[in-house]
Chain A
Amino acid sequence: MNYHINHLQELESESIFILREVASKFENPVLMFSGGKDSILMVHLAYKAFYPAKVPFTLLHIDTGHNFEETLKFRDELVKKTGAKLIVGSVQDAIDSGMVTEEKGFSASRNGLQTAVLLDELEKGKFDAALGGARRDEEKARAKERFFSHRDDFGQWDPKNQRPELWNLFNAKHNLGEHFRVFPISNWTELDVWQYLAMEKVELPSLYYAHERLVIERDGVLLADSEYIPKKEGEKAFKEMVRCRTIGDVTCTGVWRSDAKTTEDIIEEIATTRMTERGGRTDDKRSETSMEDRKKKGYF
């Protein structure tokens, strides 16, 4: 017998360990669920971590109101299947009540508004830990993130003052009113996620697979044609075979020309692609430090 596990099993084991630490060390943890593959992976891992007991986390979706239909449908089915409790924080409600102000213009996005709604929901629900599916390979600000990331009572991240993390000893101590962001899949790359989802045969929203869709092209990025994206003069929607590499809000999620119809096709595509995963995310392109700036304020 060879006592050896592959890299996916090792990552799985590490993530399950973190999820169980959260259940042990916090009174009221919540799992931030976007409907994207990373949060679907998180739910899958959480199911395994606590089997045969129920997943001890509430799901929290921050809904910008500008969703792909497929995402919401998938979310509601998953909630039904797992029996999880779901809270939806609505950016539309926050705009209507005057808590936040909507951006104007062609590239207006509700992406930044999600932070205020998220922090508000965490406070309302008295959540002391928010589990997120962010990965360190996604972006340079995320490369410095901890598994257990301490947030002050304003929900802010201070990259210069993070607690060192050694071995598998995680310090989750916090004062009343402070919370932690916890990232169990920190060490996974995009390729790992897909390889694992393939190995486990996890079901995903159809958006991730190649399909024909009306798109517009803007600044070299293809965007899904949608009522939420006002067209500039000269922009015309056309049909393409595309798929999403990340799923966020319709207004900031680029789609990719692709023929990848199965998970194995996607693994092949990612292994050979020359563009980063978030390359189609217009929310990251606003400035070089756009993720860093948003993270400090309390973004996902």
Chain B
Amino acid sequence: MADYKSSELLRFTTAGSVDDGKSTLIGRLLYDSKSIYQDQYDTIKATSERRGEETVNLALLTDGLKSEREQGITIDVAYRYFSTPKRKFIIADTPGHIQYTRNMVTGASTANVALVLVDARNGVVEQTKRHAIIASLLQIPHLVVCINKMDLVDYKEEAYDKIQRDFEQFAAKLDVKDVHFIPISALEGDNVVNRSTKMPWFEGQTLMYYLENVHIASDHNYIDVRFPVQYVIRPYSDEFHDYRGYAGRVAGGIIKVGDEVTLLPSGFSSKIANIVGAGGDQKEAFPPQSVTILLENDFDLSRGDMIVRKNNQPEVTQDVDIMLCWFDSNKPLKEKGKYTLLHTTQEVRCVIQKIRYKLDINTLHRDEEDSVIGMNDIGRIQIRTTKPLFADAYRKNRITGSVILVDEGTNNTIAAGMIV
């Protein structure tokens, strides 16, 4: 039981439609890892019986809202939780309908691992490619291709081999570093939590073993120091009279007491005098810790400013190229349109200077003739902001390289972008 103090957090995303067995897989993970409570199990058992199903339908564990059941679809990302003695898991369960890009991109934005489900009978289809492309665009560090429904192809190695070959051939064009393949049957429980006895030819690990052991400690950027100032702590009390602490979450690098730092946008230099963490003073801070930083000479920073290391600075710029995913179903992206942009702890306005191309998310083809970016579309654009951003390429840092756009009329979040 004392294990919980060394347990890591792993976030993963599953994308897919109703038919590829995604809900069954999540149900299976929860059930076989004993994360299901008796009363939950009794409820789905009763529902399965009422519907005349032969076995308990584990997919019902991920059943959602009334309005979703009425329409027979999932409308939104749902978050699910389970843990084993080794790790705590957060699943972003993203539906493949209507707002598929929006949902997948949302789930992918914080994930360490993406599970891509492939139906063993159908092989690599358009939707598989789309999932993989989004995982690659969003720079999810690890990708697992779960070749599901192996029971329906008699657990044959050939089916698995063909899918692995097809996927690898296609993935060569993508920017994914770590891809794993696992043949499973979510329905029968093969290679999900328990090792299958029906696929002796498969020498790899089960999905659960993978999730518990995949190396995620280097998923953050520990090299380039980036500390966006989130909030200024000023106690105004006798005891802490001149206290001015810069609170924030470390976005990159390892910050140490005594380090020489540069303050953006002023460019002034200072030194880290102290770091106060959730457990008290600490000598260093790293992602994703929330800490408060005290500087030796104070230059009155405010929210949106950034503390970085001398000689290692992000680009300070008003002109940025971004890969944009558009979410708004009411209107497309407008060239020359003006939007509010959120980046780290900064909020600025921006104007769309140029739509460079639209990306076909099934083939990766760049269409420079097509400049209509509508719902679910991805395109590369150039923007200009009212104030400089302290920006890194998304490939280098997922936190200092990401933005969202907000519609100034409706206040809705209408796009997500990755700095190129």
* A residues lining the B interface (CB < 8 Å): 1-14, 16-17, 20-21, 23-24, 48-54, 136-137, 140-141, 143-144, 150, 159-160, 162-171, 173-175, 186-187, 189, 191-192, 195, 199, 264, 267-268, 271, 273-276, 279, 288-289, 292-293
- Distance in angstroms between the alpha carbons of A160 and B329 in the assembled complex: 13
A279-B37 in contact given A16-B278, A166-B402 (Cβ < 8 Å) = yes
A7-B87 in contact given A166-B404, A167-B110, A292-B66 (Cβ < 8 Å) = yes
**Minimum CB distance partner of B216 in chain A:** A4
**Are B217 and A3 interface neighbours, CB within 8 A?**
yes
Give the interface centre of A21, A140, A168 by most chain B CB atoms within 10 Å: A168
Identify the 6 closest CB pairs spanning chains A and B, nearest first.
A274-B38, A173-B411, A7-B9, A166-B109, A53-B235, A16-B290
Total B residues in contact with A, Cβ cutoff 8 Å: 74
Residue B364 at the chain A interface, CB threshold 8 Å? no
- Distance in angstroms between the alpha carbons of A292 and B78 in the assembled complex: 14
Q: Chain B residues near A8 (CB, 8 Å)?
A: 4-5
Pick 7 A–B contacts, CB within 8 A, sort by A.
A14-B288, A17-B230, A20-B248, A51-B292, A136-B79, A166-B404, A175-B411
Residue B125 at the chain A interface, CB threshold 8 Å? no
In the complex, what's the smallest C-beta–C-beta distance from A239 to chain B, in angstroms? 26
A-facing residues in B228-267 (Cβ within 8 Å):
230-231, 233-237, 239-240, 243, 247-249, 254
**Are A6 and B6 interface neighbours, CB within 8 A?**
yes
Partner of B65, one of A11, A164, A167, A292: A292
Q: Chain A residues near B110 (CB, 8 Å)?
A: 166-167
**Minimum CB distance partner of A142 in chain B:** B79
Q: Chain B residues near A51 (CB, 8 Å)?
A: 233, 276, 292
Partner of A136, one of B81, B220, B234, B340: B81
**Are A187 and B230 interface neighbours, CB within 8 A?**
no
Residue B177 at the chain A interface, CB threshold 8 Å? no
- Distance in angstroms between the alpha carbons of A264 and B234 in the assembled complex: 37
Q: Chain B residues near A189 (CB, 8 Å)?
A: 81, 83, 88
**Minimum CB distance partner of B47 in chain A:** A288
**Are A163 and B413 interface neighbours, CB within 8 A?**
yes
Residue B416 at the chain A interface, CB threshold 8 Å? yes
Give the interface centre of B37, B78, B247 by most chain A CB atoms within 10 Å: B247
- Distance in angstroms between the alpha carbons of A199 and B230 in the assembled complex: 27
